[in-house]
């Protein structure tokens, strides 16, 4: 687990979690200046989803995460795949309305990987802009960053997991 995420916002540990949650094999990250690093751009390898760039923020504010952009031709997902555990946990708030069946005029279910994949650019846009979820529901910082990093810029990086959470 990352030390920079408050304990109340960290997801539960799941043995055998996908590469997504731990950054993948060989993940690297440069520390910001205030934590002993050079303070420059930070490039972190994130496995199949490419890399994410973190831009240092001014005035000691938390770094701004710039979502990766992926090439759809490199997507190994198949229709029978499922959502990665961390992403499924982060999206539970969305399922209050986007369940199966959808309620409150939501119109679309966001329960399966196929549901999310088909609507990835739309989901990215409404979460990034903050127009969803509607009150009284909210996404924590962990939920929002987890979903946005997994979706990638405009939903280009949403890759399924071969098996569900246990």
Pair 155, 148: CB distance under 8 Å: no
| In a domain? residue 147 | yes
Are 117 and 108 spatial neighbours (Cβ–Cβ below 8 Å)? no
CA separation for the pair 126, 130 (Å, rounded):
6
Asked, for residue 162, whether it belongs to a domain, the answer is no
Domain that holds residue 55: 7-155
In a domain, 136, yes or no: yes
46, 54, 77, 88, 166 from 17: Cα distances, Å? 14, 23, 17, 12, 10
Q: What mean pLDDT do residues 141-150 have?
A: 94
- Give yes or no for residue 117 having a pLDDT over 70: yes
Please check whether residue 11 lies inside any domain of the structure. yes
Q: Is the pLDDT of residue 7 over 80?
A: no
* Assigned domain for 165 exists: no
Kindly state the average pLDDT of the residues 6-31.
Answer: 38
Distance of alpha carbon 166 from alpha carbon 159, whole angstroms: 19
pLDDT at 55: 57
Q: What percent of the chain has pLDDT over 90?
A: 45
Residue 133: predicted pLDDT: 93
Total count of domains within the chain: 1
- The answer as to whether 160 is a domain residue is no
What are the angstrom distances between the C-alpha of 23 and each of 26, 129, 152? 8, 25, 14
The mean pLDDT of the chain is 73
CA distance 49 to 40: 22
pLDDT score at 86 = 95
CA 157 to CA 10: how far, in whole Å? 22
pLDDT in tens, 63-106: 666 778 898 888 898 888 999 999 999 999 999 999 999 997 88
| CA 160/CA 118 separation, integer angstroms | 12
Nearest to 160 by CA among 106, 97, 118: 118
User: In the prediction, which pLDDT does 63 show?
Assistant: 63
More confident residue, 42 or 5: 5
State the pLDDT at residue 72. 84
* pLDDT of res. 56: 60
Query: Tell me, what's the pLDDT at 64?
Result: 63
Distance CA 62, CA 89 (A): 23
pLDDT in tens, 21-45: 333 333 333 333 333 334 443 333 3
pLDDT value for 164: 85
3-class secondary structure, 74? helix
In a domain, 163, yes or no: no
């Amino acid at each position: 687990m990352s030390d920079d995420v408050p304990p109340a916002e960290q997801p539960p540990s799941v043995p055998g979690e996908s590469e997504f949650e731990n950054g993948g094999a060989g993940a690297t990250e440069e520390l910001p200046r205030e934590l002993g690093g050079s303070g420059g751009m930070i490039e972190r390898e994130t496995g199949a989803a490419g890399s994410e760039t973190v831009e240092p923020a001014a005035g000691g504010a938390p770094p701004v995460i710039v979502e990766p952009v992926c090439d759809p031709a490199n997507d190994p997902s198949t229709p029978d795949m499922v959502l990665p555990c961390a992403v499924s946990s982060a999206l539970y708030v969305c399922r209050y309305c986007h369940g199966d069946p959808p309620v409150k005029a939501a119109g679309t279910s966001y329960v399966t990987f196929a549901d999310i994949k088909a609507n990835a650019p739309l989901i990215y846009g409404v979460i990034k802009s903050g127009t969803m979820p509607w009150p009284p529901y909210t996404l924590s910082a962990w939920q929002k960053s987890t979903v946005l990093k997994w979706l990638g810029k405009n939903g280009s990086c949403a890759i399924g997991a071969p098996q569900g959470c246990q």
